[in-house]
């Protein structure tokens, strides 16, 4: 113990410069350095590189930009293709697989090999792919690239190995599915049509077998020509020429007639025996006008003609509506007998497919449902009920119901939270669904052994919040919360929408949730915060509203004070923002736009309302307009239920709210966080020049030379006095000698009832500039709105290479080193090329806009506010966009009654540390390397009936740094991660133990300290696509994978890590992609995913009867191998198509699918096949024995009859 205290004393006396990036603790990129490391803190790090592997797990949501649809009627699985080359395969809940074509070409058509566990995809790059579905992760077995023709339509007959492929030129090719090689048999367009035809028939839009004879192929051309081709005779049976373009064709199951849909909105019914004209033409939605003409209608894009045993046939089609009725939504029409039902859809119809009981096209179809693929939804209609209800979709297809603006991911949640949220959310579910089970029920899925409660929270543009159960690689919505209900509905021409053109004033910007206390906090884009409490009872409540002024007035240009020994004293009223209820209007704030001063964007409902069980609003905090300028968006938030405090900040300052007493206890500008004794003159600007738009969510940037420029540029080596914490006017009392300097003489006495704040000890001296640097502009947060490269107002130009070196941190400036006096002038073009704009609005990315130091991250926790503290106390850690870390101690009454009445006080602190780049994340470890959780309050229902024997009292759970380390005494480790650097500090000495430069050429977008394998690590996601993990506390690199380049701001806004080695992001506007960086989870991934293919016996064909078999053609004697095989048809031209084997080939796929389940399934299939063959053999043997016995009997009778006859009697 004594030895350890001596080490701490030695660390305490280390120079402040050594903790701020000087050579004593700096390091090259990728090399952690310890300077100095206490030998007695010997943390046994258990994580090694072998514990990490990055891979995708599952994808949730609706397929973005869908293009194609297919269904296997035996396996009962559904496939959806997309414009980006993705294929989504769905079965029963839990069976959900995503595949991606490497080319990224759009999927034009999908064809299942029915009950074979395979899928054929036709892509826009004229390539066919064969996917093996007999494994949990499907893979491509073969590919066939067409070189001279474009694919337009494919058809694969049931139980056939020959695929018909129609092309844009009108030709039809045939592909062997087993070898994926073209047959020499080709149906050329000029042979299919008559020689007298003068025009090209157009691309092939339809191919199908005749139900009466598989040797007859019906070919539909876009121009209106239909040909039935006799495959054996290699000639056309009949040709139909129609005036209107054809979109689709559908057969009657008997093969006696077929139906076509056309571009004029008509349906034609044809008899193959009489093809001179259709025997029926209908315009389902074309009414006859007064002048006798038909209404012009939209094209019918697809029609399906399905028969039913006990009712009239179904004719189902999409499109065909009248042009005259404007504003009508897309519709699916169901014609059943004389009844016509029009189902209007919310989005355009991409494709639909009728689900039938039988896979055989020559049997009565018996349709029972229709799957409708819309642009942004998937619905299934029940055809067995007369009102055609919709099935309740078990898949999370409505993630994008309103655009997702933020996400949060919580693994290993309290086990009781999911059932409670589900029970509350189930009361608000929609009704009117079909009572039958979901028809897409293929595949198998079991709950894996590595499961734990997981919850995903999504925030949306309309202000709604959705809680999802994400356990075991599934996603089910638990509960939906609408934050817009807290506010009055904005009137047209008023509020945010009128001022800034914001369409979504309630959009959610970030969320903070404590699963233990069930406190939930939402930050909105209109500079508002809503705090919710959970209750199982409904209640009559009135939401309390707090209005806060968080604007600052100082000039962004910083110049040295003329006399550093006489620092300028700032006006508290001009530097420190004030709560609205304490200082509603500041002097000089009357402007021509003064009507908007001291008003928030939105109006909170001020009446008593009845709220249902669930999350109920308790407090609303809104930032106000000041001097005609809108408040800046909130960039950071933290809430602690044990303290009862909520802290938030933006690029103007910081505010702390006591949500128990509903009061603002701190409201201060970022500049005043350092203290009123600022050594730099900040010129007052009046009037304000630039308005900053607040449209857009939290923006991010790639330019982080601001901290290096700011820390290293000054004309002379100035060592300014230590900074102190400057509090709002009503809290500045008796701070006579904070950090050895007097407070502002303009400080006002405190408000009534407010206690005095004790003065703090002297803090470390902070040098804001290095020698030989000109004045500079303060750079705004990289985690805030935008960042622009600094514009130097001095003469001189440097090379582009030198500028890039400084921008990317190749040449780093230390606070203690002297540098040359070279200045840099950045033009606007180079700024745009080298900066990464994170703004959704171009109005906030101007190079000339003044920027401010923003609060980028906040964290409550038990820590040591001063070096001399013996015990940890509640503290607030503050991180800024300039890489500055400030520690603010708090004094919170712990007694229940005192907490409700006595105010929380804030004390000044001298603890200031620095990192490169905006600060992103704080975390605390004990000296054993274990993660210290933030204290929290155990949830209690405030609306529950009161029990006089058990009064309600707050139950708090604290995790003190000293409680788990008696062997080491007091102290803990603080992990701080910024956009470019990570540091570990030892508290209370505030000494830097470890430093790691995470990246020099990019910047970190998201960083989190996560639990993994009973240990902790720091996980980072960079803008260049790298996902990295670092050990703690030594910051040793464990994994660095170039995974996902940042191509969309949506990824940056929604990427988040969680415990147990998982992460997620929005891969498209409609889909959530989950990934894992845990080797253990990658090893168990096959077990946790569902099986797409299950061995099912193919249903037997119905007995057609003697007469139907005799007169119905010779379909069963048709042998495609004789016609299409190489022996009969020869080889196709090599230049026509190129065969590309799959990555693993057939053998590789067999090895990849050689798990226990796969082996059992194959063994079962083999046994079934063997049993079937044995059964057939036994039947044949029995028939032979019967035949032999009959022959023997007849021979014996004949012998007896002829035994006594003479030769001449025959």
Compute the average pLDDT of residues 553-580: 39
Determine the pLDDT at residue 1152: 42
913 and 983 in contact (C-beta within 8 Å)? yes
Report how far residue 286's alpha carbon sits from residue 282's, in angstroms, rounded to the nearest whole number: 9
Report how far residue 1051's alpha carbon sits from residue 1065's, in angstroms, rounded to the nearest whole number: 6
Compute the average pLDDT of residues 592-598: 56
Predicted confidence (pLDDT) per residue in 263-289, tens digit = 999 999 999 998 889 999 999 988 877
Determine the pLDDT at residue 876: 94
Q: What's the 3-state SS for 328-395? A: CCCEEEEEECCEEEEEECCCCEEEEEEEECCCCCCCCCCEEEEEEEECCCEEEEECCCCCCCECCCCC
380-384, 388-392, 998-1002, 1083-1087: range with lowest mean pLDDT: 1083-1087
The residue among 342 and 499 whose pLDDT is bigger is 342
Compute the average pLDDT of residues 1083-1108: 81
Q: Exposure string (b/e) for 1006-1015, b if CB count within 10 Å is 16 or more?
A: bbbbbbbbeb
The residue among 1136 and 848 whose pLDDT is bigger is 1136
Determine the pLDDT at residue 596: 63
pLDDT at 731 over 60: no
Secondary structure letter of residue 271 according to DSSP: B
Predicted confidence (pLDDT) per residue in 196-240, tens digit = 777 899 999 999 999 999 999 999 999 999 999 999 989 999 999
Determine the pLDDT at residue 293: 77
88-102, 175-189, 204-218, 320-334: range with lowest mean pLDDT: 320-334
Determine the pLDDT at residue 910: 63
- Nearest CA to 705 out of 882, 838, 913, 854 is that of 882
Give the pairing type, strands 404-411 and 378-382: unpaired
Mean pLDDT of the chain: 77
Confidence class for position 759, pLDDT limits 50, 70, 90: very low
Determine the pLDDT at residue 269: 95
Predicted confidence (pLDDT) per residue in 607-643, tens digit = 888 999 999 999 999 999 888 888 999 999 999 999 9
Which stretches within 674-827 are classed as H helix? Answer: 706-712, 800-807
Q: Both tokens of residue 161?
A: 């190995």
Secondary structure letter of residue 1027 according to DSSP: E
Predicted confidence (pLDDT) per residue in 456-492, tens digit = 999 999 999 999 999 988 999 999 999 999 999 877 6
> Residue 862 burial (CB < 10 Å; 0-12/13-18/19+)?
buried
The residue among 9 and 622 whose pLDDT is bigger is 622
Determine the pLDDT at residue 970: 67
Compute the average pLDDT of residues 173-202: 89
Determine the pLDDT at residue 879: 94
Compute the average pLDDT of residues 943-961: 73
Predicted confidence (pLDDT) per residue in 1118-1168, tens digit = 778 888 887 777 777 778 888 888 874 444 444 444 444 445 555 655 666
Confidence class for position 780, pLDDT limits 50, 70, 90: very low
Report how far residue 984's alpha carbon sits from residue 995's, in angstroms, rounded to the nearest whole number: 7
- Nearest CA to 3 out of 866, 967, 928, 868 is that of 967
Compute the average pLDDT of residues 994-1016: 94
pLDDT at 884 over 50: yes
Give residues with Cβ within 8 angstroms of 738, minimum separation 6. 675, 724, 725, 759, 760, 908
Predicted confidence (pLDDT) per residue in 904-944, tens digit = 998 876 668 889 999 999 999 998 889 999 899 999 888 88
The residue among 1091 and 798 whose pLDDT is bigger is 1091
Predicted confidence (pLDDT) per residue in 637-664, tens digit = 999 999 999 999 999 999 999 999 999 9
Give residues with Cβ within 8 angstroms of 35, minimum separation 6. 18, 24, 25, 992, 993, 995
Determine the pLDDT at residue 1191: 87
Give residues with Cβ within 8 angstroms of 165, minimum separation 6. 122, 128, 146, 151, 153, 154, 172, 173, 174, 175
210 and 251 in contact (C-beta within 8 Å)? yes
DSSP assignments along 826-849, one per residue: --HHHHHHHS----SSGGG--TTS
Compute the average pLDDT of residues 1013-1035: 94
Determine the pLDDT at residue 690: 40
21-25, 534-538, 1032-1036: range with lowest mean pLDDT: 21-25
Compute the average pLDDT of residues 69-78: 96
The residue among 1062 and 671 whose pLDDT is bigger is 1062
Q: Both tokens of residue 162?
A: 């020959």
How many of the other CB atoms lie within 10 Å of CB of 77?
26
89 and 107 in contact (C-beta within 8 Å)? no
How many of the other CB atoms lie within 10 Å of CB of 1180?
10
Confidence class for position 774, pLDDT limits 50, 70, 90: very low
Q: What's the 3-state SS for 55-76? A: EEEEEEECCCCEEEEEEECCCC
Predicted confidence (pLDDT) per residue in 401-453, tens digit = 999 999 999 998 998 999 999 999 888 777 889 999 999 999 998 876 678 89
Determine the pLDDT at residue 1171: 67
Confidence class for position 38, pLDDT limits 50, 70, 90: low
| Max mean pLDDT range (576-585, 766-775, 1109-1118, 1196-1205) | 1196-1205
Determine the pLDDT at residue 1192: 86
Confidence class for position 1005, pLDDT limits 50, 70, 90: very high
| Max mean pLDDT range (402-406, 773-777, 960-964, 1156-1160) | 402-406
Determine the pLDDT at residue 675: 66
pLDDT at 764 over 80: no
How many of the other CB atoms lie within 10 Å of CB of 357?
14
Of all residues in the chain, the percent with pLDDT exceeding 70 is 71
């Amino acid at each position: 113990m004594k030895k350890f205290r001596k080490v701490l004393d030695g660390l305490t006396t280390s120079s402040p410069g050594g903790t701020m990036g000087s050579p004593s603790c700096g390091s090259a990129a990728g090399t952690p350095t310890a300077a100095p490391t206490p030998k007695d803190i010997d943390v046994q790090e258990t994580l090694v590189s072998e514990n990490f592997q990055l891979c995708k797990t599952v994808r949730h949501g609706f397929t973005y930009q869908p293009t194609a649809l297919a269904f296997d009627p035996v396996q009962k699985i559904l496939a959806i293709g997309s414009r980006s080359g993705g294929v989504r395969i769905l079965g029963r809940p839990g069976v959900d697989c995503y595949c991606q074509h490497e080319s990224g070409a759009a999927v034009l058509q999908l064809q299942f090999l029915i009950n074979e566990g395979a899928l054929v995809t036709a892509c826009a790059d004229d390539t066919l792919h064969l996917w093996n579905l007999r494994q949990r992760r499907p893979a491509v077995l073969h590919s066939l690239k067409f070189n001279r023709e474009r694919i337009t339509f494919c058809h694969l007959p049931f139980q056939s190995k020959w695929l018909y492929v129609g092309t844009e030129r009108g030709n039809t090719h045939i592909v062997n599915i087993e070898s994926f090689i073209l047959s020499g048999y080709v149906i050329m367009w000029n042979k299919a049509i008559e020689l007298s035809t003068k025009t090209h028939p157009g691309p092939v839009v339809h191919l199908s077998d005749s139900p009466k004879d598989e040797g007859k192929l019906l070919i539909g051309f876009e121009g209106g020509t239909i040909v039935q081709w006799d495959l054996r005779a290699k000639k056309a049976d009949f040709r139909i020429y129609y005036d209107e373009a054809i979109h689709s064709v559908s057969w009657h199951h008997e093969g006696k007639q077929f139906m076509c849909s056309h571009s004029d909105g008509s349906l034609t019914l044809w008899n193959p025996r009489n093809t001179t004209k259709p025997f029926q033409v209908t315009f389902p939605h074309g009414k006859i006008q007064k002048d006798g003409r038909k209404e012009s209608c939209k094209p019918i894009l697809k029609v399906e003609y399905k028969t039913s045993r006990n009712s009239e046939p179904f004719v189902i089609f999409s499109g065909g509506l009248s042009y005259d009725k404007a504003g009508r939504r897309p519709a699916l029409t169901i014609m059943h007998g004389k009844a016509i039902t029009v189902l209007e859809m919310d989005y355009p119809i991409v494709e639909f497919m009728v689900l039938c009981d039988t896979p055989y096209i020559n049997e009565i179809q018996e349709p029972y449902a229709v799957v409708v693929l819309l642009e942004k939804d998937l619905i299934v209609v029940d055809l067995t009920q007369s009102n055609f209800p919709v099935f309740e979709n078990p898949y999370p297809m409505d993630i994008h119901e309103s655009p997702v603006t933020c996400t949060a991911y919580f693994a290993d949640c309290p086990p009781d939270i999911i059932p409670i949220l589900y029970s509350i959310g189930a009361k608000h579910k929609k009704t009117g669904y079909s009572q039958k089970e979901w028809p897409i029920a293929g595949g198998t899925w079991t709950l894996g052994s590595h499961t734990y409660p997981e919850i995903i929270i999504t925030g949306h543009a309309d202000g709604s919040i959705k809680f999802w159960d994400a356990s075991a690689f599934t996603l089910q919505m638990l509960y939906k919360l609408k934050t817009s209900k807290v506010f009055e509905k904005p009137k047209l021409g008023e509020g945010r929408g009128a001022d800034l053109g914001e369409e979504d004033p309630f959009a959610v910007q970030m969320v903070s949730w404590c699963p233990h206390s069930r406190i939930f906090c939402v930050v909105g884009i209109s500079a508002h915060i809503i705090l919710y409490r959970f209750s199982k009872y409904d209640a009559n409540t009135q939401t309390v509203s707090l209005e806060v002024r968080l604007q600052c007035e100082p000039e962004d240009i910083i110049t040295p004070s003329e006399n550093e020994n006489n620092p300028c004293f700032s006006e508290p009223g001009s530097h420190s923002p004030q709560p609205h209820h304490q200082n509603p209007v500041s002097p000089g704030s009357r402007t021509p736009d003064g009507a908007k001063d001291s008003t928030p964007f939105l109006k909170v409902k001020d009446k008593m309302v009845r709220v249902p069980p669930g999350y109920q609003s308790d407090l609303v905090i809104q930032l106000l307009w000041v001097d005609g300028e809108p408040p800046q968006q909130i960039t950071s938030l933290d809430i602690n239920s044990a303290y009862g405090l909520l802290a938030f900040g933006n690029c103007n300052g910081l505010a702390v709210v006591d949500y128990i007493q509903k009061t603002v206890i701190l409201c201060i500008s970022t500049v005043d966080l350092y203290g009123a004794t600022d050594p730099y003159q900040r010129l007052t600007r009046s009037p304000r020049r630039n308005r900053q738009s607040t449209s857009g969510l939290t923006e991010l940037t790639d330019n982080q030379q601001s901290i290096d420029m700011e820390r290293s540029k000054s004309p002379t080596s100035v060592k300014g006095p230590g900074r102190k914490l400057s509090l709002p006017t009503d809290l500045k009392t008796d701070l006579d000698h904070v950090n050895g300097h007097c407070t502002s003489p303009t400080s006002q006495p405190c408000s009534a009832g407010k206690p005095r704040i004790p003065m703090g000890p002297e803090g470390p001296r902070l040098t804001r500039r290095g020698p030989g640097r000109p004045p500079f502009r303060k750079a705004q947060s990289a985690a805030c709105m935008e960042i622009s490269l600094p514009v130097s107002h001095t003469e001189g130009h440097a090379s582009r290479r030198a500028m890039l070196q400084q921008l990317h941190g190749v040449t780093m400036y230390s606070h203690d080193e002297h540098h040359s006096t070279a200045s840099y002038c950045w033009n606007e073009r180079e700024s745009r090329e080298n900066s990464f704009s994170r703004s959704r609005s171009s109005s906030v990315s101007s190079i000339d806009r003044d920027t401010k130091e923003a609060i980028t991250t906040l964290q409550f926790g038990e820590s040591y506010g001063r070096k001399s503290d013996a015990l940890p106390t509640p503290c607030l850690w503050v991180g800024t966009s300039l890489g500055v870390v400030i520690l603010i101690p708090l004094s919170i009454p712990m007694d229940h009654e005192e907490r409700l009445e006595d105010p929380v006080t804030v004390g000044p602190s001298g603890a200031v540390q620095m990192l490169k780049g905006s600060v992103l994340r704080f975390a605390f470890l004990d000296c054993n390397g274990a993660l210290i959780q933030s204290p929290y309050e155990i949830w209690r229902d405030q609306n529950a009936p009161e029990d006089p024997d058990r009064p309600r009292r707050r139950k708090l759970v604290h995790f003190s740094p000293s409680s788990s380390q008696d062997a080491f005494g007091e102290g803990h480790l603080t992990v701080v991660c910024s956009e470019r650097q990570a540091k570990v500090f030892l508290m209370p000495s505030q000494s830097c133990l470890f430093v790691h430069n995470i990246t020099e050429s990019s910047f970190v977008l998201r960083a989190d300290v996560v639990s993994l394998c009973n240990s902790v690590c720091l996980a980072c996601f960079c803008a260049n696509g790298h996902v990295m993990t670092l050990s703690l506390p030594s910051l040793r690199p464990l994994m660095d994978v170039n995974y996902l380049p940042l191509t969309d701001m949506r990824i940056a806004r929604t990427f988040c890590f969680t415990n147990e080695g998982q992460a997620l992001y929005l891969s498209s506007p409609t889909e959530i992609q989950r990934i894992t960086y845990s080797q253990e989870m990658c090893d168990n991934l096959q077990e946790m995913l569902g099986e797409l293919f299950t061995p099912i016996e193919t249903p037997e064909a119905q007995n057609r009867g003697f007469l139907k078999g005799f007169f119905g053609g010779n379909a069963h004697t048709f042998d495609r191998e004789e016609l299409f095989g190489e022996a009969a048809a020869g080889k196709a031209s090599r230049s026509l198509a190129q065969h590309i084997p799959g990555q693993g080939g057939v053998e590789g796929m067999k090895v990849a699918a050689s798990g226990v389940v796969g082996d059992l399934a194959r063994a079962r299939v083999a046994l079934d096949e063997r049993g079937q063959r044995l059964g057939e053999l036994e039947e044949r043997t029995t028939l032979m024995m019967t035949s032999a016995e009959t022959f023997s009997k007849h021979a014996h009778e004949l012998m007896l009859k002829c035994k006594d006859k003479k030769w001449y009697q025959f």
